[in-house]
Structure 1
Amino acid sequence: METYTIVIAVVAAVIGFAVALGLKGILGSKKLKDAAAEAEKMVKAAQNEADGLIKEAGIEAKDILFRMKSEFESEAKETRSELKKLERRLIQKEENIDRKTDLFEQREKEIARKEQSLSDRDKSVSSKEEKYNALLEEQKAQLERISTLTAEQAKELLIRAMENEARYEGAKLIKRIENEAKEDADKKAKKIIATAIQRYSGDFIAERTVSVVQLPGDEMKGRIIGREGRNIRAIEAATGIDLIIDDTPEAVILSGFNPVRREVARLALIKLISDGRIHPARIEDVVKKVGQEVDTVIKEAGEQAAFDLGVHGIHAELIKYLGRLKYRTSYAQNVLQHSVEVGALCGMMASELGLKEKLARRMGLLHDIGKAIDHEVEGPHAVIGSKLAKKFGESAAVVHAIGAHHEDVPPSTVYALLVQAADGLSGARPGARKELLENYIRRIEDLEGIANGFNGVANTYAIQAGREIRVIVESDKVSDEESVLLSRDIAKKIEESLTFPGQIKVTVIRETRAVEYANK
């Protein structure tokens, strides 16, 4: 307010000075008086105006001061509220810290108490251990005096007894685990195989490759041989097959490792005999035409096999190799028919297991593809077939299943095991294969001889055409648990010693008979 007063006074002085200067030049006293009066009025008006301004400034200053005071009090109130909240939080934290401190102290006391208890127990255990060791030493000394055995001898006897007991318990455990596993696995496996067999019905007797050509008469042998043997040499040179003409009446035998060439030679010879014109030029012409016909038949046979199984996308060369299996036999079983059968069985079992049916059929169809060229390349047909399949773009799973179906490669997929099972099933079913009587008898004798070579075996009988061997043991020498181990040992010995298709079941039979006679 004092500032406003000074300002107003200055303004009034300036106005008065200006008025005085303005009136200085006025002449005459009247005019001077009038001017002075006018100036006085102006000063009073200025004074009044200044007083009004001073009052307004004072009122405005009071308003500003009031607002500043109100804002200060509001901020102070908020600050006090925040401080109270912080104070309450600090008090809560302090209480939590106090509680945690109490808990830590309790835990420390509990840990200290447990440590003391463990220490006391350790001391007690140590003292008891010393006492027991002393007793054991005393008992050992007494046992040595009583049994006249040294500690090493007694230890050896004890170890031997424990080993026998462990073997006995192990055999019991193996038997129990096998029974539990077989109870479920056998049911499912039998169901899958039975379903597959019911859904597929193959020929009971398989086709055989004919290697003998019947002649209309023995005079035809001379015409086949020709002058100085030129006809027979021309046939052998054109076909790569040896012709054996002996005392067999009205027949010529064809000999050769390549079944396709043997078939070409057979068909060409039949045509030459029916035509009657047999000479080197005619022989070459007929063999060439028959070779083309056989190639067509081979291709059609491979395509038909793939079509029958619904397998598509096989390389054209693989189709040809597949068709060549039409002229290949294994134990008198046609290999192409066998491959189709294995493919069908694989697909059926895969569908039962929820696997890819088409992939399984493809593996089964191609599993014996190596037999089409195994007489030309060294090595097992499974390995040859896997390399052939890989060469013509088959997937790694198919290549592995082909190579593993005879354990030449360890099987690592379910599909490979399916191919093994289907292959054994196709070859082992009655009527599928033909075996020479001598080989059959020798295999039966070898089976029975292997089983008879084990201790405790009384009698051995090979049944079901050598698919099962039943071993009767002496009950006083072999226990029930040991019979489990014996069956396993016999099966392992058979696998190591013999070569056979499919599988051989080993059954160990143990029985105890008590016989008594009543006399009177």
Structure 2
Amino acid sequence: MELLLIIGPALGVGLISGLIGFYLRNTLVTKSQKAAFSASQDQLRIAEERSKEILIEAKEKGIQLITETERELRTERKNIQNSQRKLDDSQSEINIQLTELKSKEDKLKIELEKAKEEKKELESLKEIEIEQIEKISDISMKDAKEILFKRAEENINFDIGKRYRNAEIEMKEKIDSEARNIISSAIQKLASEVVGEETVSSVSLPNEEMKGRLIGRDGRNIRSIEAATGVDLIVDEGPESVAISCFDPIRRAIAVTSLEHLISDGRIHPARIEDIVEKSKREVNRTIKKEGENAIFETSIKSIHPDLIPMMGRLKYRYSYGENVLQHSIETSHLASMMAHELGAKVEVCRIGGFLHDIGKAFTHEIDGPHAEIGADIARKYEVGKDIETVIREHHDSEMTTTESFIVAAADAISAARPGARRDTLEAYTKRLKEIEDVGNSFDGVERCYAIQAGRELRVLVNPDEIDDIESATIARKIVKQIEEKLSYPGQIRVVVIRESRSIEFAQ
């Protein structure tokens, strides 16, 4: 009983505590749900408001875009209408002009027909008149014309011949005396050298060992030098020297310089030879420029285009009938300027024109055409002046348009005709070798051609990427055939086609 009295209140207290806890828990859960619902309602309201704002903005942008598009369409439509209006106006004007032209054409046709009819009437009247005259005079019109013209011609020829003879006698006396004075004065003021030609140079060798090294194993070094420079090397057993034969003096100068460097350096092999030849080419080019500058200084020319200086320097290595072309140009410049002083002509035009008159010879193997035309084109390119260009172009013409052209042509002839100036040997020789080389260079795939052994051998270097071994033999036969058909030469010409292929790798 006591136990029940103790347990009963305890159970009551526990039950009450459980009921209170349940109530409190339900209350808290309900508040949390309400708070969450309220928050979700707020977010939903905000989202609806934002969506309304976005919709309003989209509508506004859409309206704005539609408005702008309509405005652009109206503008474009207006432009199209204006263009169409202009086209209509132009078409109307064209139609009016066509109508006017048609009307004029019709009028011209009518007038042309009238003119033809009038011409026929005149011809008919003329024939009638001639017939009447022939009946009256008892001689035909043709015979009358011939008699009249013959008598008039005889009288005119007699008067002209008489006056011409008198004038010719008088002018010859004056001109001959004056020309002798001017030319004698100019020649006396100029003292020039006798220039000889040179087609062979030699380089001394220090000993027989150097000769062997220069030749190389199986002659590979000497072949490399000949291929790189385009010259013919002649090594005799006797004297300790090597002869360099080549009709092109620039190639010969490069070969001489290359051999001197190789002998001095001592390292002689194909790769070194190629490097030395390139270096020698640069040295010769510097020498060419220096020779041009010296020639400008010697002729007292104050202003000339810088690019013309090395062009004139190249003439130091060119010969015409055995005469050095650069020396000949300097002489011509001096003579022309002195004669221009005496005659009161344009001195500077004669001085520069005489100096540049043969500049075309520096490019005759590169550009087709007479050297006078080539030189005149160069003068025009570098804007030396119209008068000088005319002098260069006309210095070999039979008809000359300026006094300066006559003076330069006379100076050119005097320089060439003086004793010891020329010999008729190298020009023909050089021309023949150039023609042989031109035949080889005319074929596709050919890189370079060298005529050596005084024209008895033609070496043709071909591109190994374009020409194979079979095509090399074909090219050799074709070159031989063209040489036989086009050229005249003594003896025989050996054609050697060289196809060289190199593969280079480096060991690291």
Q: TM-score, normalised by structure 2?
A: 0.49
Question: Which entry has the higher C-alpha Rg, 1 or 2?
Answer: 1
